[in-house]
Amino acid sequence: MILGALVDAGVALDGLREALAELGVQGYTISRQPAQRGGVSGTLVTVELDEEGRRPRGWESFVSAIEKSGLDATVKERACAVFHRLVEAEAVVHRTTVAEVHLHELGTVDTLVDVVGSVVGLDMLGIERLYCSPFPTGSGVVHSAHGVLPVPAPATAALFAIAKAPVVPPPGNKADAGEMVTPTGAAILTTLATFRQPAMKVERVAYGLGSRDSRDYPNALGLWLGDEVGGLGYTTDLSMLETNVDDMAAELFGYVQERLFELGARDVWFTPIQMKKNRPATMISVIVPAELEVSAVGVLLRETSTLGVRVRPVSRYEAEREVVQVETSLGSVPVKVKRLEGTTVSVAPEYEACRAIALERSLPLQEVYRLVQREAGEKLLDS
């Protein structure tokens, strides 16, 4: 369905075939046809396998084919990341190590085509950022090589959990909706997409169709393409970490903050508090992307005296921001620009650049900051 949406959006099938040929893998054919699911018209992409394509392969052979191919380095990196995410989930489900994972139904060539084709298609369309709405859980059971499985399949559910992905019930809360997200689809989207809804100017909408034609819902995947505008983005895949410390030297807190920012924390701050017996203490608060939660907890446990860390999921609204170089009377200075709904509402000179100018020219830092902010505002702020 992801391939169908990409082809429906304009990816040339011949170009996709040419890119997939770089893998040096045989045993499949890929075709497209217009179709309809419910009242939705779109594109159905089919990957047919012959005997060679149905031959089981290990995930290592898929990764090896990608790494040895002539594909773009970024495509290779993203495709391999998808397979590593998929194998991680399979290891969790089967309670084994990654090295011992067997992909079973996912070990045939169509999985390689789905993953690499999706990454290549996104690259062909020039999509810089991919966002995803909550996954529908589906319902009922499916039959597999392991026997009867609940829906969502355990591997799919594990991928949801690893990514802390938002989910919603199937349409109409039906008890027999069937499988609505496959492990491969979940691996692709939880690896490549962010679960938020940005403000955007929509240019076109495409639909990839599934093979099942349900009477209860249109079995279609929508792909909306366009340019982001400076609205309020809503981010859900964040974790808040908190811990209380009352027995650590003050100078160590700055080092902990540096380590957390280097890791990729969105924010780190300290709050004076009182603990038992009215002892003065400090609460360390950290906001990190959910995928960095475990690593950030590790930093707190290693670098502070705490014995435990509180964790909870958080969401936040975010204004669009970017850093631009502005020519001023003091030279070129990086300035952080804040936008709301496409309108620039504030500018803030970067501290380190202003500090360097102040030292070089023997000027008061406040004067440098005010001058750069005024000149940048005159050039960038919308009246």
What is the average per-residue pLDDT within 58-81?
95
Dump pLDDT digits (tens) for 278-337.
899 999 999 999 889 999 999 999 999 999 999 998 988 888 888 999 999 999 999 999
| pLDDT score recorded for residue 339 | 84
Instruction: Provide the 10 A C-beta neighbour count for residue 182.
Output: 23
Phi-psi map region of 362: left, alpha, beta (phi>0 left; psi -120 to 50 alpha): left
Task: Give the H/E segment covering residue 148.
Answer: strand 147-150
- Say yes or no: 158 and 306 in one domain: no
Q: Where do runs of H (alpha helix) occur along the chain?
A: 2-8, 13-21, 51-54, 59-68, 73-94, 109-124, 154-163, 183-192, 251-263, 293-303, 351-361, 365-380
- Say yes or no: 134 and 150 in one domain: yes
- Assign 147 a pLDDT band (cuts: 50, 70, 90): confident
- Taking CB atoms within 8 Å and a gap of at least 24, the contacts of 139-146 are 139/169, 139/170, 139/174, 139/175, 139/176, 139/177, 139/178, 140/175, 140/176, 140/177, 140/178, 140/179, 142/178, 142/179, 144/104, 144/105, 145/104, 145/105, 146/104
Residue whose tokens read 């380590």:
259
CB burial readout 286-305, b (16+ within 10 A) else e: bbbbbebbeebbebbeebbe
pLDDT over 90 at 199, yes or no: no
- Say yes or no: 336 and 196 in one domain: no
Instruction: Provide the 10 A C-beta neighbour count for residue 105.
Output: 16
Q: How far is CA 309 from the centre of its chain?
A: 25
Q: What's the rounded Cα separation, in Å, for the pair 136 and 150?
A: 14
- Say yes or no: 262 and 287 in one domain: yes
- Say yes or no: 266 and 211 in one domain: no
Dump pLDDT digits (tens) for 22-38.
999 999 999 999 999 99
Residue span of the structural domain in which 356 resides? 320-380
Dump pLDDT digits (tens) for 77-107.
999 999 999 999 999 998 988 888 888 778 8
Q: What's the rounded Cα separation, in Å, for the pair 80 and 72?
A: 12
Q: In what order do the strands lie in the sheet with 310-318?
A: 267-274, 280-289, 233-245, 310-318
- Say yes or no: 178 and 284 in one domain: no
Q: 14 CB contacts (<8 Å, ≥6 apart)?
A: none
- Say yes or no: 44 and 144 in one domain: yes
Decide which of 228, 245, 265 is a domain's last residue: 228
Instruction: Provide the 10 A C-beta neighbour count for residue 147.
Output: 7
- Say yes or no: 85 and 98 in one domain: yes
Number of domains in the chain: 3
Decide which of 178, 201, 228 is a domain's last residue: 228
Decide which of 200, 228, 256 is a domain's last residue: 228
- DSSP-derived pairing of the beta strands 280-289 and 233-245: antiparallel
Q: What's the rounded Cα separation, in Å, for the pair 37 and 209?
A: 7
| pLDDT score recorded for residue 232 | 66
- Say yes or no: 69 and 138 in one domain: yes
- Its pTM stands at 0.65
pLDDT over 60 at 231, yes or no: no
**Residue 179 is encoded by which pair of tokens?**
């499988």
Dump pLDDT digits (tens) for 336-375.
999 887 788 999 999 999 999 999 999 999 999 999 999 9
Q: For residues 113 and 28, is the Cβ–Cβ distance under 8 A?
A: yes
- Say yes or no: 221 and 239 in one domain: no
- Say yes or no: 115 and 62 in one domain: yes
DSSP bridge partners of 51: none
- Say yes or no: 200 and 222 in one domain: yes
CATH of the domain at 254: 3.30.70.1380
Q: For residues 283 and 274, is the Cβ–Cβ distance under 8 A?
A: no
C-alpha distances in angstroms, 186 versus 99, 163, 189?
21, 10, 5
